[in-house]
């Protein structure tokens, strides 16, 4: 019985690490698509539509909630636009620079929404900003700059930096939108904060499917208008496999939030970002011989944990 309980206690951590590994594998197959002579544009078309199918199964079908409303569909559309442009910037950055560091920069955006939500909504709505947040953010940014210290030899360093900044900013916007939606879900009268949603409307299960569908449509349009060719077989294969890994990672992340105890709830999302950074750098080093600065990665990981963990919640769950 004791062994069973101990395994259950760590199930959420195991699931979130598994989710990070699957998302990192999705990132790997994006790189594989490029290596096979394809492009990120072709890959993302298939990845987004497979992710759309996965989230339909995970959200409305799994929950048996098929009703939808215009405000949430519009919110999902906005999120889809952000995802689409973020992925375009990510694709450009991958063509110009090392994938491991590029994905680490993307994951580093995790620390920024706390600052933005605190500025806009404050502690009254559950978004205090403490010195821990500031310290964590500083460590993340410092670690990323340290990790990128050896990339001076890139042929198009300025172009890589521009696209990295763009994808980072768009990811911050997307994560902030997610947190804003989560805030509306957790307050009794969301219409008092936002005039667009009632308590029933914001619970609509079509937000994520709409996000992936809109992003997929934009990716399809970009692909058809800029490349004007049929997708290559390996492009299709890697996109479908990448979409399955992306959707499966989302599924494991959802399972982790459901299996988590109060202590685990406080560290799930930081652990998710940390897992993506670590696994992306592992395949970058092993498969592409990237020179990964693991000490810099450790600094960023410590910053992610310090800056995003709810330390009051952790202390409360431990009885302090």
> By the 8 A CB rule, do 132 and 145 touch?
no
CA 188 to chain centre: 27
**Res. 267 pLDDT band, cuts 50 70 90:** low
> For residue 254, which of 106, 4, 63 has the smallest C-alpha distance?
63
* pLDDT digits 0-9 by tens, 88-125: 898 888 888 877 678 778 877 777 777 787 788 777 77
Given a contact cutoff of 8 angstroms between Cβ atoms, the answer to whether 194 and 109 are in contact is no
The token pair that represents 52 in the structure block: 């759309």
**Residue carrying structure tokens 């995003």:** 308
What are the structure tokens assigned to 202, written together?
């914001």
| Local confidence band at 5 (pLDDT 50, 70, 90 cut-offs) | very low
Residues near 276 by Cβ (< 8 Å), separated by ≥ 6? 20, 23, 24, 27, 103, 107
Contact 180, 171 (CB under 8 A): no
The Cβ of residue 124 has, within 10 Å, a number of other Cβ atoms equal to 7
On whether the CB atoms of residues 299 and 139 are closer than 8 A, the answer is: yes
Say whether pLDDT at 3 is over 50: no
Q: What pLDDT score was predicted for residue 14? A: 85
Residue of higher predicted confidence among 163 and 13: 163
């Amino acid at each position: 019985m004791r062994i069973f309980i101990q395994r259950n206690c760590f199930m959420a951590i195991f699931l979130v690490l598994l989710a990070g590994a699957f998302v990192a594998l999705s990132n790997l197959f994006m790189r594989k698509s490029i290596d096979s002579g394809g492009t990120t544009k072709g890959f993302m078309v298939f990845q987004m539509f497979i992710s759309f199918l996965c989230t339909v199964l995970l959200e409305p079908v799994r929950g048996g909630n098929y009703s939808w409303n215009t405000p949430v569909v519009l919110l999902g559309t906005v999120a889809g636009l952000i995802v689409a442009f973020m992925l375009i910037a990510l694709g450009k950055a991958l063509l110009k620079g090392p994938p491991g560091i590029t994905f680490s920069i993307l994951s580093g955006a995790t620390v920024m929404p706390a600052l933005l939500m605190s500025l806009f909504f404050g502690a009254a709505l559950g978004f205090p900003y403490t010195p821990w947040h500031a310290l964590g953010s500083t460590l993340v940014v410092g670690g990323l700059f340290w990790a990128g210290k050896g990339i001076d030899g890139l042929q198009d360093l300025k172009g890589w930096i521009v696209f990295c900044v763009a994808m980072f900013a768009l990811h911050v916007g997307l994560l902030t939108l997610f947190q804003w939606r989560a805030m509306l879900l957790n307050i009794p009268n969301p219409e008092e904060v936002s005039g667009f949603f009632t308590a029933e409307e914001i619970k609509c299960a079509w937000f994520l499917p709409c996000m992936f569908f809109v992003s997929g449509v934009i990716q399809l349009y970009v692909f058809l208008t800029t490349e004007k060719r049929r997708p290559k077989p390996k492009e299709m294969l890697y996109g479908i496999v990448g979409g399955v890994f992306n959707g499966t990672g989302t599924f494991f992340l959802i399972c982790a939030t459901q299996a988590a105890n109060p202590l685990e709830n406080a560290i799930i999302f930081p652990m998710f970002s940390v897992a993506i950074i670590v696994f992306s750098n592992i395949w970058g080093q092993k498969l592409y011989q990237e020179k990964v600065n693991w000490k810099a990665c450790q600094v960023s990981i410590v910053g992610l944990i310090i800056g995003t963990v709810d330390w009051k919640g952790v202390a409360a769950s431990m009885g302090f």
